[in-house]
Chain A
Amino acid sequence: MSILIDQNSRIIIQGINGKAGSFFAKRMHDYGNNVVGGIAPSHGGEWTLNGKIPLFDTVHECVQSTDADTTVIFVPAYSAADACFEALESGIKNIICISADVPMKDIAIIKSSLQNKNAILIGPNALGVFTPGKALAGVFPVDFAIEGNLGVISRAGSLCYDVLMELYKNDIGISSVIGLGEDCLSGTSFVDCLDLFEMDAHTDSILIIGQPGYIQESLAATHILESITKPVYAYVAGAGINTNKIIGHTEICMFDSQHNAPRKIEDLSNAGVRIARNLKDISQLINGR
């Protein structure tokens, strides 16, 4: 067991002919051997990855012939909303949008369209979902993860890879890892993922990787206090950032003085979450329990 995806997932890739799409299609196929199709309008009927993956013009056609349940989207930002709608209308259950820089208006509209539908959106700007030993639906590096019982939820991209390397070095296995994306709005939140891991029989404990900006970690803290029984660990980067030292104007949310790391750490800590002070601390904290 794991959350959202496993070896039986039937994964398709929208935007498979692009640079990132083809690169990660190969990685996903090599890892889980469960990529059943790719979407490349006007290339339907052709094959890609040395004849391993069939191409389709539309998601609908692809679902009809492959029974796909999960899509990983690599299209450019301006067509990300379109790709998500196409997946949703075609009955895909797990919509994982890797595309970055998607306008907030588009995200709000997609989120709103998901209501009352049996589908979830992870992203945009997500890393996707990775279940070590079983399947990859996203862009995680696969060489630093072993199967285990720790569920990992991250907003950050490259920081999450750094954490995975650290866990790997210390022989800490992972049930699933979800990369939500660093954007202000995203389809799936820490709260949703905490519930998924809480219900997963193969997850014993949960690690949250947070960062400054936006309110998600504080909402997670409230939810942990109310509904999560499994032990939760957290590492929130950015406690050493001094926003008083900024010269001029910034629009980067890691310098948000309202939703800063110390405040998030306080909220999580008050909810009984064990806090790692730095990267190395994470494994010690988890191994020392």
Chain B
Amino acid sequence: MKLHEFQTKAIFKREGIPLPASFLSSSPVQAKQAASEIGYPVILKAQSLISGRGKAGGIRLTRNDAETESAAGDIFNIKLKGISIQQILVEKAIKVENELFIGIRYDTTSGDPSFVLSVEGGISLEDNAPLSSSNSFIQTINPLLGLQAFQVRQACANLKIAPYKWKIIEQTALKLWHVFNNYDATLAEINSMVFNEEGHAVVIDCKLVIDDNALFRQREFAGFLDPAITSFAQAEARKFGHKLVRLDGNIAVISNSQGLASATLDELAQHGLNPALVLILDHNATVSSISAACQLVQEDPSVETVFLNIVSNMDDCCSIAQGIIRTHQNTLSPIPFVVRLKGSHCVEANKILTGQENLSLIETLDDAVQKLKEVLEE
């Protein structure tokens, strides 16, 4: 779960990482009030989890109330990938020079967390872009011991950072590790930290991604779902442990693993068919959660047909079949379902579904594509 900038900053503040004064606002008027409270100049920052807010004009520097109100109005009109901006963070503008980047993420090659210090601003670990070796220094963190102060000093020395900054970088990096470790983050980034004339440091931008799998012990994030971003359907799917992604076609694809869903999308793409959404079922899906998934996707206005492609190793083919039946019984005019159920116990499951109206049982992906084409032509 990726947190909004304002949510991340609230956590960083709690942990004692130095930040500029800021307020969250949800209207141009509120933005103006926040700005006068903070004192000009301020920066208005669109709160969005979709990258590209800067390019879209979502970050603006303003010097007076009139500018603030009009810039905020512009920002609330921005749409990023079809999602409009709901909130703006109004923040004291800080003169940016000598930027520093501090980040911690998991190195998926070694499996250990790794610490990155860079004297280059504007980078992000999230994009997995290669880091320039002359401007960045990477240290592997032993997960049993945590980031050590000497590792930060080594990085500072290597990057030839002025020694008067070392102490504050060390303190900030150790606090960042504390956040990363204690909040079950998969990525924690300070991008960037700047120093003012007196040598005081302040963090102007930061990012935090929390491990979804750790939410059972990170209860405070359960209420953090942003309704604008995780659409109603996504939020509903998540409630049942399913994962949902929206695309721009007209077929809903439901599958029980990302690998199989990927193969399904390949097959559709090869035949010019377009998915409207992809839903990956929870590992422990039950009859009612499967029924909820079917209900959810068929209510989506862009979905004209539903393709369930399930290959199971357990006896859950039957629950899937029962889930589909329950959905059909609860719907007045169900949209057509194309269903491929394979694996253990699939014979019984297919028996349950045989003879259902508006439902085609198929054997292979080829047949499925043919059937979907027929259904869409009708």
Contact = CB atoms under 8 A, between A and B. Distances in A.
| Chain A partners chain B | yes
Interface of A: 20, 23, 77-78, 100-105, 107-109, 111-113, 127, 139-141, 143, 154-162, 165, 182, 184-185, 209, 211-216, 219, 237-242, 245-255, 258-259, 261, 278-279
Contact of B259 (A101, A102, A159): A159
Contacts of B166: none
Contacts of B344: 141, 143
B266 A158 contact: no
A109 B283 CA distance: 24
A170 B212 CA distance: 40
B230 to A, nearest CB: 7
B173 to A, nearest CB: 18
Interface stretch (B31-39, B95-103, B239-247): B239-247
B230 A249 contact: yes
B260 A156 contact: yes
A234 to B, nearest CB: 13
B205 interface: no
Given A108-B111, A241-B266, A254-B261, 13 more contacts: A23-B314, A105-B143, A139-B313, A141-B344, A143-B344, A184-B106, A219-B109, A240-B267, A241-B262, A247-B247, A248-B81, A252-B278, A253-B258
Contact of A78 (B142, B216, B256, B312): B216
A252 B113 contact: no
Contacts of A245: 247-249, 274
A241 B184 CA distance: 30
A247 B81 contact: yes
Contacts of A214: 108
Contacts of B127: 258
A143 to B, nearest CB: 7
A177 B175 CA distance: 44
Contacts of A248: 50, 81-83, 229-231, 234, 246
Contacts of B52: none
A130 to B, nearest CB: 10
A108 B143 contact: yes
B342 A165 contact: yes
B314 A139 contact: yes
Contact of A161 (B184, B258, B278, B313): B313
Given A161-B343, A278-B266, A185 B83 contact: no
Contact of B311 (A77, A158, A184, A212): A158
Contact of A158 (B184, B211, B255, B265): B255
B21 interface: no
Contact of B266 (A111, A240, A249): A240
Given A20-B314, A104-B211, A248-B81, A238 B248 contact: no
Contacts of A249: 2, 49-50, 81, 83, 229-230
B268 interface: yes
Contacts of A159: 257, 259-260, 262-263, 311
Contacts of B256: 157-158
B49 A157 contact: no
B183 to A, nearest CB: 10
A255 B245 contact: yes
Contacts of B142: 112
A157 B343 CA distance: 12
B144 interface: yes
A195 to B, nearest CB: 16
Given A247-B82, A248-B246, A158 B108 contact: no
A113 B268 CA distance: 44
B257 A103 contact: no
Interface residues of B, number: 66
B270 A162 contact: no
B258 A213 contact: yes
Given A103-B184, A185-B111, A251-B1, A238 B106 contact: no
9 closest cross-chain pairs (CB), A and B: A156-B259, A240-B269, A238-B262, A159-B259, A237-B262, A240-B266, A103-B214, A237-B263, A158-B311
A182 B258 contact: yes
B181 A105 contact: yes
Contacts of B268: 240
Interface in B205-244: 211-214, 216-217, 229-231, 234, 243
Given A78-B217, A100-B283, A247-B82, A108 B112 contact: yes
B367 interface: no
6 contacts: A108-B143, A161-B311, A182-B258, A247-B247, A248-B83, A252-B258
A261 B259 CA distance: 11
Contacts of A104: 106, 184, 186, 211, 213-214
Nearest to A114: B111
A108 B44 CA distance: 38
Interface in B64-94: 81-83
Most A C-beta atoms less than 10 A away, residue of B113, B249, B261, B310: B261
Interface in B305-338: 310-315
A209 B259 contact: yes
Contact of B343 (A109, A158, A216): A158
A216 to B, nearest CB: 8
Contacts of B257: 156-159, 182
A252 B255 CA distance: 13
B198 to A, nearest CB: 37
Interface in B274-289: 274, 278, 280, 283
B314 A241 contact: no
Contacts of A155: 259
Interface in B128-142: 128, 142
